[in-house]
Amino acid sequence: MKATISYKKQHYKIDLSKPLDISIPLRGNTTNVNAWYVDAPKIAPHREGDFVGKVTEGASTNFNDIWFNPHAHGTHTECVGHITEEFHSINQNLKTFFFLAKVITIAPEKQKNDFIISKKQLQYAIKDANCKAIIIRTIPNVKEKLSKQYSNTNPPYLLEEAAFYLVELGVEHLMIDLPSVDKEKDNGELLSHNAFWNTQGEVRKHATITEFIFVDNSIKDGLYFLNLQVAPFENDASPSRPVLYKIEEE
| Domain definitions of the chain by residue range | 2-25+73-248
Helix (H) or strand (E) holding 167: helix 160-169
Query: What pLDDT is attached to residue 3?
Result: 84
CATH superfamily, domain 2-25+73-248, is Putative cyclase (3.50.30.50)
Cα distance between residue 228 and residue 212, in whole Å? 14
Per-residue pLDDT at 21: 98
**Residue range 98-141, pLDDT digits in tens:** 999 999 999 999 999 999 999 999 999 999 889 999 999 999 99
Is pLDDT of 82 > 90? yes
Per-chain mean pLDDT for the chain: 96
Cis-peptide into 140, omega within 30 deg: yes
Output the pLDDT for position 61. 98
Q: Is the pLDDT of residue 250 over 80?
A: no
CB 138 within 8 A of CB 121: no
Per-residue pLDDT tens over the stretch 52-65? 999 999 999 999 99
What value, to the nearest 5°, has the Cα angle with vertex 168 and ends 132 and 90?
50
Q: Are 245 and 224 in contact (CB under 8 A)?
A: yes
Give the pLDDT mean for 138-167. Answer: 98
Give the mean model confidence (pLDDT) for residues 144-160. Answer: 98
